[in-house]
Structure 1
Amino acid sequence: MARMWCGGMICCPWCTKCGDIVPKQIILLYALTFLVFLPLICVNLRHSLYHLRLHDADEEETHLMTENDKRLVENGQIIKKYNESVIQNSQSGPSLHSEDMDVGITVITVSRNRHRKGGYRPQYLTQVVGRLLGLLNSTAKHSKLKYGLFVCNVDDHPETYDELKPLKILLPTFHMYQLKQDTKIDIFEKEKRDYIFCLEETLKRNALYAFLVEDDGYPHKDLIPVLERTIDSHIEQKALSEFSPKVLPRNVTYVKFYHPERLLGYINGEWERIPELISVSFVFGTLMTILYAHFILQWTRHNIRMMWFACVLYCGLVALFVGRVNLMELRRVSVQTYQVTSAPSCCTPAMLFPKQGGYEIVKRLSAVTCKRRYGKDTALEDIRRRYGYTALMVQPNLFKHIGLFSSLRKGIIDPFIV
């Protein structure tokens, strides 16, 4: 057994003087971690407790517009290539059938920032459509499902929505309104009716799944493989049925692929988050104790108990201070490590509806009137609870909210809040 030095002499592992070193090491570890290392690492890490917003609103807005322009150039080129492949009848592009498809992806769109902010047009629709075309093309060889891509125009001034005009030549487009609308209707009720219209139109294309994406939700590169894995493992349960033929498909009404990051922390009212934090603390705290005891400290009952408690608490605090959202990013290491949980309420930028679930939502949501402080997302949650529907959510997010200009609030918003 290895020995430790104490006062210039070799001593046994059970020496009380050596045991006195443990509290000092714990204090040093905590001090260096929470007062030095984490503040340096996390000061610019959004959703950590150390994050500081050092930039003013105008500077951050300019930064977001710059990122927006970069995405626009990149995805504009993808659309251009797709357009050329369609003109040349090329088979290299993604096969986007309006019939004989498994998943119908519909981008719900409305013009943004019309006659505001110096005429700057963010062109979210171009970015999202280009991104989806690129993802479908890059995964076409390995994809198990067939996809259809549609655009659903719910702008109440359709004749002046210039961004849509070149895209509707390429993709099937549904129009909620054919002419300018002058009717006075609550904007939250209009949003609900628009959503129902787009969902119904997608379901009419005879797809097994309707995937509704709002045009300010920018897809992550893992979207298609994670989507297919979610359908296989959590809706149709094909992975289970290979071993147990009696397992029936799960009755899922809808699946969310986005939830505001500010609501994804450990302390946010979702009951499963606290057990998750405790599990992280115990697992990594125990592992840390084993490593510490093996390489640094000799095994004694007193020392090990003290170190185990200190390490469990340490790991829990690190997770809490770094932030659950940032730790969840580690799950992107593989498609298999994405987490599927029950869905909380709020927000509908990216929703997958199995056919039966979609028709149920159309029927129930049509009977509800939305208004201020009772939007369609709140109505969806009330319907889910009232009728006992199953709703799931995939984490981490497969979409990034890029909507700096809100059509609902008629102004500029912080995209990290929604």
Structure 2
Amino acid sequence: MGLMKILLWQTILFVCTFTLIIYPICIKLPYSKFYYVFNKEDSVSLKAERLNAERHDKSLSYFASLQAESSKLFYVGMENSNHLDLVVAIISVKRKDGTLGYLTQAVARMDKLLKKDVYFKTKFLFVCNVDQNPNNHEEAKKLEKYIPVKYRFGNATGKMNASPYNSLYQKQNNFNTYQKETIDYMFCLEMAHSMNPDYVLMMEDDTLPLPMSLEVLSFKLKWLALFRNPPMKTFAYIKLYYPPKWQGFANEFKRILEVVAIGALGASCFVFLFASRGKRSVQNLYFVIGAVYFILIALFLDRQNVLELRRMTAQFYSLNISPGCCTPAMFYQKWVIPDLLKYLSFANSKYHTDIAIHSFITSQNLTAYQIEPNLFVHIGMYTSIHVNTRKDPQEFIFNMY
């Protein structure tokens, strides 16, 4: 095939791909380059609110389908077990707008996931109500007939009364918002740890697990223990959620390498498909065209959407060294929790919770991971701390698979 024919054919391919396929996809795909060009932020916010209302309705229907007593007995029977594989704590506080139903969604998704799970044999789920007026947290009170609820204020268990941090937990005044958030986190983490599990999963009440979450975690634990060279059994935690807005392609060495790798893969595919038996000059031309073609597709879709391809199987998920930000969903090994609690008891007034946890990891020279793509999604477009403050709504346009 002559040079002009190759260039003509490739030009047609580029035009068709980027006008008939990539362009329409990007218009509907959050984080793509064209998403906010054709979608106004207010309309995206309305869509996110509608999706949240639909999820809430499905969650209410889920609980309506359960027999309350048997649902709660699933966990109560395990609470006094000598050994648990996993304890899941959902940290919750009453929100100003109680109609959002974040906690109801989080409990419904995790309850359904745990009851179907075959990877962690013994497990316990509880809502950790850290509201200073716990009886006013009506959403948590409604859920108490389906799953256990623990309280920081007014109804602590005997185990927590014996905690060395109990005086800190019972103190209600002289805390700024972020300091209270850290002490709330401490309480729920210690409550979970007091049940003697191998692992503790800490969730905030505005996060939802994706269906493969526990399967992927189980696989990664086996991989770390058996197949990593050398085996890594003593990591501190795995961060299960990191804000998608910070997961895009950027001027960072590792992210640039990813773009180069995508280009190299695409270039190899082009050479194999179109010029495997051609002259070296023709192969080189197809290599360059293929690299440009795949790099442009990746950049238009952006990295958040390219990562979705990894959801095909648990083996495709990756572990990276954990960044400092964010605690919506954290998976801890039990051995690290006592030292972490001790550190947070002194650092709670210095840092936000996520930075305090990361500071502990770095000060102790411990290994912690972040998994990609996320195993949890964030639904808290409106936070419990900054009233009426709306986050970027494109983060909340997603499918639950």
Tell me the TM-score normalized by structure 2.
0.85
Give 2:315's aligned residue.
336
Give 2:165's aligned residue.
none
Q: Which amino acid aligns with 2:30?
A: R
Q: Distance in 1 between matches of 2:4 and 2:77?
A: 69
Q: Distance in 1 between matches of 2:129 and 2:148?
A: 11
Give 1:33's aligned residue.
17
Give 2:267's aligned residue.
285
SS state at 1:317 partner: helix
Q: Is the 8 A contact 2:89 2:203 kept in 1?
A: yes
Q: Which amino acid aligns with 1:128?
A: A
Give 1:266's aligned residue.
249
The CA RMSD over aligned residues, in Å, is: 2.7
Q: Which amino acid aligns with 2:385?
A: L
Q: Residue 263 of structure 1: CA displacement? A: 0.9
Q: Is the 8 A contact 1:112 1:123 kept in 2?
A: no
Gaps of 5+ in 2: 156-169, 397-401
Q: Residue 154 of structure 1: CA displacement? A: 1.3
Question: Which of 242, 245, 257 is matched with 1:275 structurally?
Answer: 257
Q: Residue 59 of structure 1: CA displacement? A: 3.7
* Deviation by residue 1:235-270 (Cα, 9 ceiling, x = unmatched): xx1457xxx9xx65522011011111111112164x
Larger relative helix fraction:
2
Q: Is the 8 A contact 1:113 1:121 kept in 2?
A: no
SS state at 2:377 partner: strand
Q: Is the 8 A contact 1:94 1:137 kept in 2?
A: no
Distance change (3 Å), C-alpha of 1:313 and 1:402: same
Distance change (3 Å), C-alpha of 1:224 and 1:146: same
Gaps of 5+ in 1: 5-17, 115-119
Question: Which of 132, 138, 142 is matched with 2:116 structurally?
Answer: 138
Give 1:60's aligned residue.
44
Distance change (3 Å), C-alpha of 1:216 and 1:386: same
1:51 corresponds to 2:35: yes
Q: Is the 8 A contact 2:102 2:206 kept in 1?
A: yes
Q: Which amino acid aligns with 1:40?
A: P
Give 2:166's aligned residue.
none
Q: Distance in 1 between matches of 2:142 and 2:67?
A: 10
Question: Which of 106, 116, 123 is matched with 2:101 structurally?
Answer: 123
1:239-318 correspondence runs (5 A): 249-267=232-250, 269=252, 271-293=253-275, 299-318=278-297
Give 2:382's aligned residue.
405
Aligned length: 379
Q: Residue 349 of structure 1: CA displacement? A: 0.5
SS state at 1:209 partner: strand
Q: Residue 153 of structure 1: CA displacement? A: 0.9
Q: Is the 8 A contact 2:201 2:330 kept in 1?
A: yes
Give 1:217's aligned residue.
207
1:183 corresponds to 2:183: no
> Percent identity over the alignment?
27
1:379 corresponds to 2:356: yes
* Deviation by residue 1:352-373 (Cα, 9 ceiling, x = unmatched): 11011222322222221446xx
1:97-112 correspondence runs (5 A): 97-98=78-79, 99=81, 100-112=83-95
Q: Is the 8 A contact 2:86 2:201 kept in 1?
A: yes
- The ranges of structure 1 where at least 4 consecutive aligned residues each deviate by more than 6 angstroms after the TM superposition are 179-182
Tell me the TM-score normalized by structure 1.
0.82
Q: Residue 348 of structure 1: CA displacement? A: 0.8
Whose radius of gyration is greater, 1 or 2?
1
